[in-house]
Amino acid sequence: MFPAHYSIHCVVLILSLLIPCYANVNRSSKPTLLRLSDHLMEGYKKGVRPVLDWRQTTTVYIDVMVYAILGVDEKNQVLTTYIWYRQFWVDEFLTWDPKKFENVSQISIPTEKIWVPDILINEFVDVGKSPDIPYVYVNHEGRVQNYKPIQVVTACSLNIYNFPFDVQNCSLTFTSWLHTIQDINVSLWRTPEEVKEDKSLFMNNGEWELLSVLSQYRKFVENEDSFAEMKFHVVIKRRPLFYAVNLLLPSMFLMVMDIIGFYLPPDSGERVSFKITLLLGYSVFLIIVSDTLPATAIGTPLIGVYFVVCMALLVISLTETILIVRLVHKQDLQTHVPEWLKRLVLEKITALLCIRDKKKFGAVRVHSSDISHQMENSSTAKLAHYSTEYPKDYERSVGVLVPSKENPLVVDNILHEIASIRQYLEKRDQCRDIAKEWLQVGYVLDILLFRIYLVAMLAYTVTLATMWSCWQQA
């Protein structure tokens, strides 16, 4: 028989040998990822910057890839983009030896359980509908990779003066909201050339085309503290085909019809109604396209100025037509064309415009009028003499009875009526001559004003096309 104290000693010795074995059995039965997660989270404080030496700076590497341009609000100066945002940093508290955890070199950890840098975009004006990515990847060296898509609603100074041939440059500035450069610094993940030329993810089937993404690192001082920021310049270009077809071409067609309307005769009266119809049609066109044009309180696009000038040209064209029509229809109240106006219009302006036979036509017209007057005077005198000397022959020729010499009062009445008819015919011919003179002056002035109008329109069109092409190349 063994003593009692010896038995107790043996029991204690056996238990001390069995407990470690039991613990090892429990530990080996626990999953590796769970053991690794417990190992990493044991004593971890997510509110403390993860560096062993507090004097060491945590560098956050940033990368941006533009996926789509969702909207450009010119009125509110807001750009909505969808980007793929990537960042990584080194967390010195999240390291392990892969050999102790079955060669596991990478693990996903909930984002809410670890320290995350406060990197924000300065231009944020609204919270976008971004999906929530709750995990980050951590490797055995403590490198934390945070990948997430973001819908970015940012303020951007949009220049719409060149619409629809405009190019916009909007920036996304990533910086720590609180930490200085001594605590958190930012850097570019890839090279600037790779970021600039990377369009592999961009949806290139919308209104906007991605030209490039320029990156720029900058340090700035605020209240004696230094901060670091990484700025990405998203350069986009609008595709103008839709606006050219729906805005520019209809306006050009209406202006061409206005030019063709000058070939209508100014004395026909149809040109005024035609010009008024064009002006009304252009007004309706502007009402329809007013919602398409971008509207801002700081500027007006050049295409808006183009529409206003086209409207002004149509008004000027209508005014010119009204003046010419008024000029050629002043027949009853108008005197003969003044000589100075004849010399100016029918000689100098016709020579300047290379209009042939105007002066000759005027001279022939005046000469023929004088001849007709002379013929009428001579015929009236011959008629009076012939009716007096040879009354019977006159009776047979005209088919009326001529009173004899005993009735001189009747003869005087007949002669008076004939003189009245002659005066009426002379007055009518005079009015016709006056109308023809003013019509000729009106035609020449109409040609002059038409050519001035055409030159002004061509110069304006060439100027706009040159400005748009220069801005597009720039």
Q: According to the model, what pLDDT value does residue 264 have? A: 86
Q: According to the model, what pLDDT value does residue 325 have? A: 82
Residue 24 lies in a domain: no
Which residue in this structure is represented by tokens 């009266």? 269
CB atoms within 10 A of CB 386: 15
Residues 83 and 219 in one domain: yes
Q: According to the model, what pLDDT value does residue 217 have? A: 94
Alpha carbons 111 and 114: distance in angstroms, whole number? 6
Residue 18 lies in a domain: no
Q: Which of 239, 255, 279 is the last residue of a domain?
A: 239
Residue 12 lies in a domain: no
Token pair of 454, please? Answer: 């055409």
Q: Which of 211, 239, 267 is the last residue of a domain?
A: 239
Residue 203 lies in a domain: yes
Q: Which of 210, 239, 268 is the last residue of a domain?
A: 239
Low-confidence ranges of the chain (pLDDT < 70): 1-29, 297, 330-349, 351-353, 356-407, 427-435, 438, 472-474
pTM above 0.85, yes or no: no
Residues 235 and 263 in one domain: no
Residues 268 and 179 in one domain: no
Token pair of 401, please? Answer: 């009875």
Residue 22 lies in a domain: no
Alpha carbons 422 and 410: distance in angstroms, whole number? 18
Q: For the sheet containing 208-222, what is the strand order?
A: 119-121, 167-176, 225-238, 208-222
Residues 261 and 394 in one domain: yes
Token pair of 322, please? Answer: 């009204």
Residues 466 and 333 in one domain: yes
Residues 424 and 458 in one domain: yes
Residues 101 and 128 in one domain: yes
How many domains would you assign to the chain?
Answer: 2
CB atoms within 10 A of CB 225: 11
Residue 215 lies in a domain: yes
Residues 224 and 272 in one domain: no
Residue 25 lies in a domain: no
51's CB contacts (< 8 A; 6+ apart) are 58, 92
CATH number of the domain encompassing residue 111: 2.70.170.10
Residue 11 lies in a domain: no
Residues 290 and 360 in one domain: yes
The 3-state secondary structure of the chain, one letter per residue: CCCHHHHHHHHHHHHHHHHHHHHHHHHHHCCHHHHHHHHHHCCCCCCCCCCCCCCCCEEEEEEEEEEEEEEEECCCCEEEEEEEEEEEEECCCCCCCHHHHCCCCEEEEEHHHCCCCCEEECCEEEECCCCCCCEEEEECCCEEEEEEEEEEEEECCCCCCCCCCCEEEEEEEEEECCCCCCCEEEEECCCHHHHHHCCCCCCCCCCEEEEEEEEEEEEEEECCEEEEEEEEEEEEEECCHHHHHHHHHHHHHHHHHHHHHHHCCCCCCHHHHHHHHHHHHHHHHHHHHCCCCCCCCCCCCHHHHHHHHHHHHHHHHHHHHHHHHHHHCCCCCCCCCCHHHHHHHHHHHHHHHCCCCHHHHHHHHHHHHHHHHHHHHHHHHHHHHHHHHCHHHHHHHHCCCCCCCCCHHHHHHHHHHHHHHHHHHHHHHHHHHHHHHHHHHHHHHHHHHHHHHHHHHHHHHHHHHHHHHHHHHC
Residues 100 and 175 in one domain: yes
Token pair of 56, please? Answer: 């060491």
Residues 156 and 283 in one domain: no
Residues 135 and 264 in one domain: no
Structural domain for 145, as ranges: 40-239
